[in-house]
A and B are shown apart, each in its own frame.
Chain A
Amino acid sequence: EVVMTQSPATLSVSPGERATLSCRASHSISSNLAWYQQKLGQAPRLLIYGASSRATDIPARFSGSGSGTEFTLTISSLQSEDFAVYYCQQYNNWPYTFGQGTKLEI
């Protein structure tokens, strides 16, 4: 099983600032990585797939990068609605696995 490790667990930032979230895979997963945003009491929402492709209707301030074992989600200028928990997920190998999440807070 591919273990996904996200850091930091919690990231405190202010609106308008830039946020950088990291995700590391225990084995190479090529670019088979997705990022999700989850707000309290809601289902996750797909943000990024293929490590760097934005999903439908996702604002341009969200960007993803990386390949192999190291990945980054960057939010260029935080809006109030961006404060949530973010998960990465690998789909290179079964079983699909998620990171433990990064909570973005003010």
Chain B
Amino acid sequence: QVQLQESGPRLVKPSETLSLTCSVSGGYASSYYWSWIRQPPGQGLEWIGEIYNSGSTNYNPSLKSRVTISVDRSKNQFSLSLSSVTAADTAVYFCARLWSGYFDSWGQGTMVTVSS
């Protein structure tokens, strides 16, 4: 069974870039499709984007200008980069495996706070 674990800085300054990594175990990052999803404190879920095993990506239009998702096959990881962050980007960030459009395996999530 695939297991996912997010890692990265918990505190990011406004206007800087948020960078997170999701480590994959029990499977190959190059074999599946992956997504990032976030959840602001006390709020609902927002899909950020996805990457296919071909390397092609799709992003939420609301974030598209600031988001990059990539895969590092050598480390069996995939990553999220979100630039020019503001307090509105404070959230728990989840990585997840995408399966036919829904998310069947999730990381535990990591809380990222944007503050100076």
Contact = CB atoms under 8 A, between A and B. Distances in A.
A27 interface: no
Contacts, number: 53
B45 A87 contact: yes
Contact of B47 (A36, A95, A99): A95
A34 B109 contact: no
Contacts of B61: 1, 95
A55 interface: yes
A45 B106 contact: yes
B94 interface: yes
Contact of A46 (B35, B44, B104, B109): B104
A42 B68 CA distance: 25
B30 to A, nearest CB: 22
B104 A91 contact: no
Q: Could you say which interface size class chain A belongs to? A: 20 to 34
Interface residues of B, number: 22
Interface in A6-63: 32, 34, 36, 42-46, 49, 55
B106 A101 contact: no
Contacts of A36: 103
Interface string A62-106: 000000000000000000000000010101101111111100000
B14 interface: no
A98 B47 contact: yes
The 10 closest A-B pairs by CB, nearest first: A91-B101, A43-B106, A34-B102, A98-B45, A95-B60, A96-B47, A100-B44, A49-B102, A46-B104, A43-B109
